[in-house]
Amino acid sequence: MAKIALITGATAGIGEACAHTFAREGYNLILTGRRMERLEALAQTLNEKYNVEIAVSSFDIRSRQQVVKSLDELPDNWKKIDVLVNNAGLSQGLDPVDKGNFDDWDTMIDTNIKGLLYVSKIVSGWMITHGSGHIINLGSIAGKDVYTNGNVYCATKHAVDALNKGMRLDLLPHGIKVTAIHPGAVETEFSEVRFKGDKERAKKVYEGFEPLLAQDIAETIWFVASRPAHVNINDLLIMPTAQANASTIFRK
Ligand code: NDP
Ligand code: 8X3
């Protein structure tokens, strides 16, 4: 029987690349995100290309009610999840703390921390019932380090780092693997979302150096997910060659 992966935030960037990679490897997939039309188009592409089964579920991960209802509604045979990729996340704004926007802070905290927790609680419960599973959390270099004006986004990713360690401890007796992947700059829709649709400003973030691609992270996540049963990669930091830490990028 094919294995199942649930990937949150599969409508763009790293999540979408993970969907392609896991489908290529023969996984059936549950893909989530708010943009249903993108989920449906991706499901059709993957189904045709790789002949795998795809379930899509559209919900706002910030809403506890939507998360619980949407996951609960999945048919029972889709609830034996082998891999959960906790990928949905975002940044909003890049301002010093005195100029930060309360709504942006709520959005980042509700998405990156609380949304990840809602999904993890439900899916880890299913994994415990089935006696196996692997949770892969998308942290960031921003969860290891802090950069100017990154304040709240960095705090949310530090929280993911802590939750990754906490989940690893809590799920250890159940044989469930837990991993955090911490990328540096990856060119996706991330900066466009951070700068609220300002494409020019977003493009500048990746000028003068070669950023990571979503596919680089997807292949790394696949490597982590495909280790033998006795091997767990707890924590992995992956950077563009031109980036040393959160705030030092060598630009030509
Ligand atoms: P993208 O903006 O390209 O993709 C983000 C995904 O998250 C989308 O599929 C989006 O779906 C989903 N998402 C955002 N908010 C919500 C929400 N409220 N409910 C449900 N889904 C949501 O960004 P990336 O692919 O770059 O980011 C993926 C993860 O990687 C994030 O956790 C990010 O913090 C992390 N990361 C990114 C780095 C980078 O440089 N790009 C570096 C380090 C970490 P939709 O809008 O359809 O809901
Ligand atoms: C996304 C990368 O450097 O913008 O987590 O925080 S960064």
Query: What mean pLDDT is reported for the chain?
Result: 98
Residue 32 and residue 9: Cα distance in Å, rounded?
6
Question: Mean pLDDT throughout 151-178?
Answer: 98
E strands, the chain, are: 4-7, 28-33, 54-58, 83-86, 134-138, 177-183, 186-187, 212-213, 235-238, 243-245, 248-249
Question: Mean pLDDT throughout 44-70?
Answer: 98
Question: Mean pLDDT throughout 87-98?
Answer: 98
Angle of helix 151-171 relative to helix 116-130, nearest 10 degrees, comes to 10
**Ligand 1 centre distance from Cα of residue 18 (Å):** 12
**Ligand 2 centre distance from Cα of residue 237 (Å):** 12
- Residue 153 a catalytic site member: yes
Are 14 and 218 spatial neighbours (Cβ–Cβ below 8 Å)?
yes
Q: Which of the four pLDDT bands, split at 50, 70 and 90, describes residue 82? A: very high
Q: Minimal CA–CA distance to 87: which of 7, 188, 24?
A: 7
How much of the chain, in percent, has pLDDT values that exceed 70? 100
CATH (domain of 36): 3.40.50.720
What pLDDT sits at residue 1? 85
Q: Ligand 2: does its nearest atom lie under 6 Å from the Cβ of 142? A: yes
Q: Ligand 1: does its nearest atom lie under 6 Å from the Cβ of 140? A: yes
**Ligand 1 centre distance from Cα of residue 188 (Å):** 9
Q: Which of the four pLDDT bands, split at 50, 70 and 90, describes residue 140? A: very high
Q: Which of the four pLDDT bands, split at 50, 70 and 90, describes residue 151? A: very high
Structural domain that includes position 49:
4-249
Residue 58 and residue 33: Cα distance in Å, rounded?
5
ipTM (interface predicted TM): 0.99
What the block records as the tokens of 232 is 């767990």
For residue 17, give every residue at least 6 positions away whose Cβ sits within 8 Å of its Cβ, in sequence order, or none: 213, 214, 215, 217, 218
Q: Ligand 1: does its nearest atom lie under 6 Å from the Cβ of 70? A: no
The CA–CA distances, whole Å, from 4 to 1, 52, 124, 203 equal: 9, 10, 14, 35
Ligand 2 atom closest to Cα of residue 194:
4
pLDDT in tens, 22-38: 999 999 999 999 999 99
Residue 69 and residue 59: Cα distance in Å, rounded?
9
What the block records as the tokens of 188 is 């996706």
What pLDDT sits at residue 220? 98
Ligand 2 atom closest to Cα of residue 150:
6
What pLDDT sits at residue 249? 98
Mutating to test ligand 2, I would choose from 108, 112, 140 the residue with most ligand atoms within 8 A of its C-beta, which is 140
Q: Which of the four pLDDT bands, split at 50, 70 and 90, describes residue 172? A: very high
E strands, 96-187, are: 134-138, 177-183, 186-187
Ligand 2 atom closest to Cα of residue 185:
2
Mutating to test ligand 1, I would choose from 7, 87, 235, 236 the residue with most ligand atoms within 8 A of its C-beta, which is 87
Asked if residue 190 has pLDDT above 90, the reply is yes
Question: Mean pLDDT throughout 242-246?
Answer: 98
